[in-house]
């Protein structure tokens, strides 16, 4: 249960301080190799266009900076040697663990950090806590990212 204050923060983080998911399907030889290659080409040219969505101190992941949206970009960033990543962090323990960065107070504050702000979905769980920040129907806006 969340017992403390929650803050939404924008910050660039060292990639090695962030936990993210890797999947065998998302690789040069995996089942998603087409998307892998497309994303790698895009990030090679443009770097990160949108921040990853991270949770800290929540019920599911505890005291780690865990990527909820942007795991594939993290894999590519690591391969490309990108050492800092832009992140929107939902800090569920803001009263006991301060994360320095730009405080985001509104959905508009969050959206301004995205390449296509009018195409960003911000979803909240039943407790009103943000659990997803990402482009709406990503396949429809894919061409704007590559």
Q: Where are the alpha helices (DSSP H) in the chain?
A: 33-46, 71-80, 107-111, 138-141
What gap in Å lies between CA 75 and CA 26, rounded to an integer?
A: 9
Give the pLDDT confidence score for residue 140 in this predicted structure: 58
**104 burial class (0-12, 13-18, 19+ CB within 10 angstroms)?**
buried
Q: How confident is the model at residue 109 (pLDDT cuts 50, 70, 90)?
A: very high
Distance CA(146)–CA(71), nearest Å, equals 17
Q: Mean pLDDT throughout 86-114? A: 93
Q: Is 69 helix (H, G, I), strand (E, B) or coil?
A: strand
Domains of the chain, each with CATH number or no CATH: 7-144 (3.90.1530.10)
pLDDT digits over 50-99, tens only?
A: 999 999 998 888 899 999 999 999 999 999 999 999 999 999 999 888 89
Write down the pTM of the prediction.
0.87
| Residue bearing tokens 């050492």 | 83
DSSP code, position 55: E
């Amino acid at each position: 249960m969340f017992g403390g204050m929650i803050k939404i923060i924008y910050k660039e983080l060292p990639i090695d301080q962030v936990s993210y998911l890797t999947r065998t399907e998302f690789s040069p030889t995996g089942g998603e190799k087409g998307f892998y290659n497309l994303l790698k080409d895009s990030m090679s040219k443009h770097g990160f266009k949108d921040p990853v969505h991270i949770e800290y101190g929540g019920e599911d992941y505890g005291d780690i900076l865990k990527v909820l949206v942007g795991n594939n970009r993290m894999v590519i960033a690591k391969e490309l040697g990108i050492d800092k990543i832009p992140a929107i962090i939902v800090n569920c323990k803001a009263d006991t663990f301060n994360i320095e960065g730009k405080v985001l107070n509104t959905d508009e504050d969050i959206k301004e950090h995205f390449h296509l702000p009018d195409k960003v979905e911000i979803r909240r769980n039943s407790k009103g806590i943000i659990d997803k920040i990402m482009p709406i129907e990503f396949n429809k806006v894919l061409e704007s990212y590559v």
